[in-house]
Every structure is written in structure tokens, then in C-alpha cells.
């Protein structure tokens, strides 16, 4: 999981084929690391308790969920698509998990697996519809966001599943060394696996190729349709993992956990990948950038809350950050192009 994790190769054969080699200090990832350090120092000195043991623990726990949400979106952005249903899918997975435990009586490990499979199935529906209709995933997932969430609310009657085994809430409150949430470790393992997928496997390279130029990828023998469906299924699983972490955090599966229609997840879903340098046009991905971007966003939320700038300004600030990040990235790419560095 290094910088410039993966870029569309001219030929998807070799693991390093077609990679660009701009200097690390000009990369998004380096900029994010600098920003994280700068803000950590600012908040450390100005926000009472920011570096306290409890806050560092909660920062790790909250960022783990946001990173996972960002990764979920990233896996679809890779193809040049979007997944607006990421929140609706996540909350649906959580509710299915709750139903399997409370309603069906399945042991919780089986319920977790079943719920993640359900997330993959929702992703299959999204991907399948994108491929079959030829419409942009923006339209398809805008529709399925309402369909998934509405169906979930109808079936559950907006009732939570609250009688979950205590292992969930125990896992949600667990601390390693007093500071580290297991959520964070789990998320980092997933991020490493994704980085491996995109850098070291043929399937990962095919995903990038399909995102960069579907027509060229098709001519190269890549079954682009199948790859797009696979990316959406992966997105569904990752959204489900984020939701299940929230279930563990709360000790309950709650229909409102991602806001109305799951829309509360959209900002963190975009912020991580976009700040991290994943191209919205597809074909380029940065797992490390997404991790750093989502962590920066979570740290800013935490720090701004602790500085008591006013909770309502936090959301405004995050929206501004998204805009500034996109503009800075555009300027950076222009600079690199002028210098023939990319």
C-alpha cells in the first residue's frame, strides 16, 4: 500500500506495467500526510483533550468506519462509476444481520457472513443493472438507494434489532493497548488486501483497465461487464462491513444509522477517495490515499468539535474541503503535466 497504488496500465499483463512514476513528494498521499501532521499539531496544542487516550481511541474507531465507507465508494469509482446507494446498502446489510440473529436465530458468525453475502447481492443488482441498461451508475444507484432503503423500512417497519449478542458491543468497545480499536485493525487489513488486489492480481489490473478505457479493455479480452459487476459486489461487501462495525459500536442494528436513505454516508464516501487522489473518471486508484483522506476528515471533525467551532460548521467545513481538494488536485495534475512528470 504505497503511494500511487495503481494506475491504469497500457497493457494489463505485468504488475508494474504502465505505472506512472511522479515523485512521492508531489503525490496526494504526501500532501495528506503533511496535512494530518499539521492538523494534529494544531489540535494537539489548541483543543483540550485531543490527544487524550480516549479521544485517540475514538478517533481510530470512527475513522475506521469512515475509511471503510470510502473504500466502498472507491471500488466503484475505479470503474468510472459512482455508488450513491452505499449508505442504503450498508444499513440494509446491518438490518439483515439483525434479522438473521433475532428473527431466524442463526449464530452470529453465520449471520455476519450471510449479511455480507447479502451486501454482495445488492452490489450484483447495482452492477447488473448498470451493465444491462447501459445507464451511468449515478442514475442506477440513485434509484436503488431509494429502493433498498424503502424496502428495508417497509420490511422492518423502522424497528431496530436490539437483542443482539453481547459479543457485538464488547467488540465495539474493545481497546488494544488502551488506544487502538479493533475496527481500525480490521479496516487496515481490508485496505492492505485491496492494495494487493489492485497491484498484484490480474483481476485488480482488469478493474483498473476497465475503468480507464472500457473499449480498449474489451479489445484486450477483458470482460468489462463482469468486472463492473464484480466492483459493485465488492462495494456492497465493504459497505456492509462498515455497517456491521456500526452495529458493533451501537450494540443494535438501527434503520436510521446512515440517515434518511443512507445519505449521511455520501460525504465521507466521496471525501476519502477524492482527497486521496482516486480519479473520478476511473482507471486510477489510491488505497493509501483513501485511507489517509478518510482519516484526515475524521480527525478534522473531531478536532473542530473539540475546538467548539459549532457542530453545524463542521459539515460546512467538510464540504469546503471536498471542493478545495478537487481544485488542488486539478492544479497538481496540470503542474505535473506541464513538467512532464505524469
Partner 1 sequence: MTNSIYAIAIAGILSAGAATSALAADDSRFGLVPGGPHPYFAAWEQAGVDAAADFGLSAAEYRVPQKWELSQQNQLLESLLSQGYNGFLIFPGDPVGAVSTAEELSGFGAPIIAGAGCYKDPSPAAFCLGTDTGNSAYIGTKELIKAMGDGEKRIAHFTGFLVDPNTQLRIDAVARAAEEEGATVVQVIADIDAPEPAEEKINAYLAANAGNVDGIITTAWVPAVVAANALRKMGDSGIKMVGIDHDEVVIQAIKDGIVDGTMLQNPYGQGYVGAFALDKLRSGCTVSADAPFGSNALTDKFIDSGTAFVDASDADTYLEAMRAETDRLLADFEDKYLTCS
Binding site for partner 1 (CB under 8 A): 37, 40-41, 44-45, 47-55, 58, 62, 158, 160, 162, 169, 172-173, 246, 249-252, 254-257, 259, 264, 301-302, 305-306, 311-312, 314-315
Considering the complex, what minimum distance in angstroms separates the CB of residue 139 from partner 1?
A: 24
CA distance 138 to 130: 9
Considering the complex, what minimum distance in angstroms separates the CB of residue 172 from partner 1?
A: 6
Task: Supply the angle between the helices 108-133 and 224-250 in degrees, to the nearest 10.
Answer: 140
CA distance 89 to 93: 6
Considering the complex, what minimum distance in angstroms separates the CB of residue 115 from partner 1?
A: 17
Considering the complex, what minimum distance in angstroms separates the CB of residue 264 from partner 1?
A: 6
302-325 burial code (b ≥16 CB/10 A, e <16): bbbebeeeeeeebeeebeebbeeb
Residue with smaller CB distance to partner 1, 3 or 6: 3
Considering the complex, what minimum distance in angstroms separates the CB of residue 213 from partner 1?
A: 38
β-partners of residue 176 are 180
Residue with smaller CB distance to partner 1, 40 or 186: 40
Residue with smaller CB distance to partner 1, 283 or 303: 303
Residue with smaller CB distance to partner 1, 69 or 197: 69
User: Left (φ > 0), alpha (ψ -120 to 50) or beta: where does 180 sit?
Assistant: beta
CA distance 68 to 235: 10
Residue with smaller CB distance to partner 1, 159 or 193: 159
CA distance 324 to 328: 6
Q: How many Cβ atoms from other residues are within 10 Å of residue 55's Cβ? A: 18
Amino acid at each position: 500500500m504505497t503511494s500511487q497504488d495503481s494506475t491504469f496500465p497500457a497493457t494489463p499483463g505485468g504488475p508494474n506495467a504502465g505505472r506512472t512514476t511522479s515523485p512521492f513528494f508531489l503525490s496526494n498521499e504526501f500532501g495528506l500526510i503533511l496535512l494530518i501532521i499539521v492538523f494534529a499539531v494544531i489540535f494537539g496544542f489548541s483543543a483540550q483533550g485531543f490527544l487524550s487516550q480516549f479521544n485517540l481511541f475514538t478517533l481510530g474507531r470512527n475513522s475506521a468506519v469512515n475509511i471503510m465507507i470510502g473504500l466502498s465508494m472507491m471500488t466503484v469509482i475505479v470503474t468510472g462509476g459512482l455508488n450513491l446507494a452505499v449508505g442504503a446498502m450498508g444499513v440494509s446489510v446491518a438490518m439483515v444481520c439483525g434479522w438473521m440473529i433475532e428473527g431466524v436465530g442463526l449464530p452470529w458468525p453465520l449471520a455476519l457472513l450471510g449479511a455480507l453475502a447479502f451486501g454482495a447481492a445488492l452490489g450484483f443488482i447495482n452492477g447488473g443493472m448498470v451493465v444491462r441498461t447501459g445507464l451511468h451508475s449515478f442514475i442506477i444507484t440513485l434509484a436503488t438507494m431509494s429502493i433498498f432503503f424503502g424496502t428495508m423500512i417497509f420490511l422492518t417497519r423502522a424497528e431496530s434489532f436490539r437483542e443482539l449478542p453481547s459479543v457485538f458491543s464488547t467488540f465495539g468497545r474493545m481497546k488494544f493497548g488502551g488506544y487502538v480499536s479493533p475496527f481500525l485493525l480490521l479496516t487496515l487489513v481490508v485496505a492492505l488486501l485491496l492494495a494487493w488486489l489492485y497491484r498484484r492480481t490480474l483481476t485488480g489490473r482488469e478493474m483498473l483497465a476497465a475503468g480507464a478505457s472500457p473499449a480498449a479493455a474489451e479489445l484486450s479480452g477483458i470482460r468489462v461487464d463482469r468486472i463492473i459487476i464484480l466492483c459493485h459486489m465488492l462495494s456492497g461487501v465493504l459497505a456492509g462491513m462498515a455497517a456491521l462495525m456500526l452495529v458493533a459500536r451501537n450494540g443494535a442494528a438501527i434503520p436510521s444509522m446512515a440517515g434518511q436513505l443512507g445519505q449521511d454516508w455520501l460525504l465521507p464516501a466521496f471525501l476519502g477517495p477524492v482527497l486521496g487522489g482516486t480519479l473520478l473518471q476511473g482507471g486510477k486508484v489510491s488505497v493509501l490515499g483513501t485511507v489517509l483522506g478518510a482519516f484526515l476528515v475524521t480527525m478534522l471533525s473531531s478536532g473542530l468539535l473539540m475546538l467548539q467551532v459549532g457542530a453545524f460548521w463542521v459539515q460546512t467545513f467538510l464540504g469546503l474541503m471536498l471542493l478545495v481538494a478537487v481544485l488542488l488536485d486539478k492544479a497538481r495534475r496540470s503542474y505535473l503535466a506541464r513538467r512532464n512528470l505524469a
